[in-house]
């Protein structure tokens, strides 16, 4: 082969390398760009980032019965503050013990009412929510103790209200952070109490969350899960629903049943009950929900084998 041919071949090889490298670099750039774009779009389209939902949940967490329902009739028992009642369920079943950390985790804390109520007992309370706007509101409530918000009355007509944290609560015991319940930080540690209020039917992969609980709740600690079991494909793919479907034999599968199957290896079921709640939208339109509240105790015998990984209905193992 002539020297000129070698040079020509070398140029071709190097040119090909540059082209391939350029394509690879461009592909990587496009992948990163698309991923960032999709993350921004997901953040933008998340209904829990909107002012409407922020105002509704501040009212849900901190509004008085008279502020929520201005009419003289309605389901009065549902007007008792739901996030406060969730925290009270935790406190009612909490145990004292040297080996049980005085730490509580409120996953899906929304605008923080339950987290602040848990601070009445626990020296450290961590509130985590996927919504950046919810976490920002929690931070303002922690610092200032109050936050102004608007209650929608009709159309564009609103009333300004003020959310107030009970001054008797030591707000310095709380801290809030944005996070994904299906992919929680590994350095959270263990807690004497974990609360997940109306969370599991809003997760894309609820089994990931359930499988993490045994490492989050300390032996002897309490776990409280509430849910109306409203499985919606806009939040959770059908293949990962905990209930609300028929299995391959045609047998109905319920969310509570799957909770029991998933948790029984590491937790004992203490009690369960129904808890009504109201989320106000306007003066004359409200969401009435009935959450199923389940209370669990982390088994103290850590040698108890954990439950088998659950499977989605398409046969995929969920870990």
**Residue 2: predicted pLDDT:** 44
pLDDT tens digits for range 276-308: 999 999 999 999 999 999 999 999 975 433 333
Q: Which residue has the higher pLDDT, 65 or 306?
A: 65
Count of other CB atoms within 10 angstroms of residue 166 = 13
Given a cut of 50, whether residue 272 has pLDDT beyond it is yes
- pTM for the whole structure: 0.80
**C-alpha distances in angstroms, 205 versus 46, 48, 172, 194, 270?**
17, 18, 32, 19, 25
Closest to 83 in 3D by CA, of 44, 51, 109, 65: 109
Candidate CATH numbers 3.40.50.150, 3.90.230.10, 3.40.630.10, 3.40.50.2300; the one for domain 46-298 = 3.40.50.150
pLDDT tens digits for range 73-92: 777 778 899 999 999 999 99
281: enclosing H helix or E strand: strand 267-282
Q: What percent of the chain is predicted at pLDDT more than 90?
A: 69
Note whether 84 and 113 are within 8 A (CB).
yes
Given a cut of 50, whether residue 12 has pLDDT beyond it is no
Over residues 239-267, the mean pLDDT reads: 97
**Residue 77: predicted pLDDT:** 77
Domain boundaries in the chain?
46-298
CA distance 217 to 79: 30
Helix (H, G, I), strand (E, B) or coil at 72: coil
Given a cut of 50, whether residue 40 has pLDDT beyond it is no
CA distance 149 to 160: 6
State how far Cα 155 lies from the chain centre. Answer: 30
**Residue 45: predicted pLDDT:** 65
**C-alpha distances in angstroms, 259 versus 57, 268, 302?**
26, 11, 20
């Amino acid at each position: 082969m002539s020297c000129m041919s070698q040079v020509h071949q070398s140029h071709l090889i190097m040119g090909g390398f540059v082209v391939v490298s350029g394509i690879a670099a461009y592909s990587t750039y496009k992948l990163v760009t698309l991923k960032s774009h999709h993350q921004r779009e997901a953040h933008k389209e998340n209904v829990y980032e909107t002012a409407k939902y922020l105002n509704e949940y501040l009212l849900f967490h901190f509004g008085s019965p008279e502020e929520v329902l201005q009419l003289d009739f309605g389901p009065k028992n549902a007007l008792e503050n739901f996030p406060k009642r969730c925290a009270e369920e935790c406190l009612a079943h909490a145990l004292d013990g040297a080996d049980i950390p005085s730490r509580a985790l409120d996953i899906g804390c929304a605008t923080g009412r339950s987290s602040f109520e848990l601070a009445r007992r626990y020296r450290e309370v961590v509130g985590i929510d996927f919504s950046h706007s919810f976490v920002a509101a929690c931070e303002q409530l922690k610092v200032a103790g109050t936050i102004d918000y608007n209650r929608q009355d009709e159309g564009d007509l609103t009333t300004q209200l003020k959310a107030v944290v009970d001054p008797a609560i030591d707000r310095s015991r709380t801290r809030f952070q944005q996070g994904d319940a299906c992919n929680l930080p590994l350095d959270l540690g263990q807690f004497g109490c974990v609360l997940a209020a109306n969370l599991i039917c809003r997760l894309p992969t609820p089994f990931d969350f359930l499988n993490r609980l045994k490492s989050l709740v300390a032996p002897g600690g309490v776990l409280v899960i509430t849910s109306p079991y409203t499985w919606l494909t806009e939040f959770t793919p059908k293949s990962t629903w905990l209930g609300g479907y028929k299995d391959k034999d045609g047998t109905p599968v319920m969310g509570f049943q799957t909770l029991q199957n998933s948790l029984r290896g590491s937790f004992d079921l203490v009690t369960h009950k129904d808890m009504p709640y109201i989320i106000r939208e306007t003066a004359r339109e409200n969401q009435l929900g009935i959450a199923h509240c389940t209370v669990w105790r982390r088994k103290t015998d850590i040698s108890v084998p954990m439950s088998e990984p659950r499977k989605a209905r398409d046969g995929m193992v969920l870990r």
